[in-house]
Structure 1
């Protein structure tokens, strides 16, 4: 019996999936929750084999749930329900411990088939999502630019960043200018926000 944890913000969606899955002899929904309710204690308690996670468009909540499952779910595999048009979320999910990618518009038989395939050890990505992933822009930052931007995100000033990296303040300002240009930002804070939303930071 494959034990399933359903994670989605809409209760009706969780209930609908659970109802249909209950008719399958080899599948059992052992728990359902919103993203914010996914805790280490819950994962350890229900011991799911598969977690089906609906990814929000900005990726934050769903990705946090995936991390919690990966850290505390032992052999639990994750299937992400993700919109191919949400490129930032998709890029971040591709870098996480997700074993399967399906569109939220998939039909229930496709989801059940995906659950069985992942439970059998397969990894897969729906063709439309694969195409979107290939077309999404990659991380534009050099390693040094990424270091500088992370320090900006941590609240460090230009002088502090320069001291930490053993560079001059002028060099740091040049890095920041390049960073802002690459992400189309008008300030360093906007650059941080754009980079986070794109999954580059």
Structure 2
């Protein structure tokens, strides 16, 4: 039996994945949670063979979840990352954490089930769709700090809320947002968020 944990921030996706993965006799979903709920305490109470992690979210908590999982696991190869955004910071972070299995979310259910079994057997892979996306990705002009600022802005945070989250002053955040808008060639903050999201820079 392969024990699986599903980590996805979108409730509908999380439920659909859990349902699809519960059908085969050799697979069992022992937990399905959002990325913010992935903690050391949770993982210590469960035996998980394969972690399925959806990387396509603007929340920074997904990178924290990958950190918790890969720091507690002897083999980061137990993680199967799902994405359609191969140039995102979450994707690059997963690569840096030695995650070795990446599956396109445009796959069929049978492909997902096969991928879980491959990961359980210790196999690493990147599906062709993701590989092509990586090769065609535009290089982000944003620094890590600028990306953090814009990601929080994309979550709907105010200037004061972003400043508090990053331990900076509101004036500094306004300067960052102005610089970001200029760098990406946007007309406004909302336009900068749109451009950065479409270019997979967040």
TM-score (norm 2): 0.64
List runs of 5+ in structure 2 lacking aligned partners: 145-165, 169-179, 186-195
1:94 counterpart SS class: helix
Aligned 8 A contact 1:57 1:83 in 2: no
For the residues of structure 2 that align with 1:94 and 1:130, how far apart are their CA atoms? 13
For the residues of structure 1 that align with 2:39 and 2:2, how far apart are their CA atoms? 21
Partner of 2:65: 65
Aligned 8 A contact 2:2 2:27 in 1: yes
Change (3 A) 1:198 1:21: closer
**How far has the Cα of 1:133 moved from its partner?**
1.5
Aligned 8 A contact 1:6 1:52 in 2: yes
Partner of 2:131: 130
Change (3 A) 1:15 1:184: closer
Q: Supply the RMSD in Å over aligned alpha carbons.
A: 3.6
For the residues of structure 1 that align with 2:55 and 2:10, how far apart are their CA atoms? 12
**How far has the Cα of 1:9 moved from its partner?**
1.4
Larger Rg: 1
For the residues of structure 2 that align with 1:12 and 1:138, how far apart are their CA atoms? 32
Partner of 1:117: 118
List runs of 5+ in structure 1 lacking aligned partners: 147-152, 156-179, 186-193
- Matched residue pairs, number? 164
**How far has the Cα of 1:102 moved from its partner?**
1.3
TM-score (norm 1): 0.65
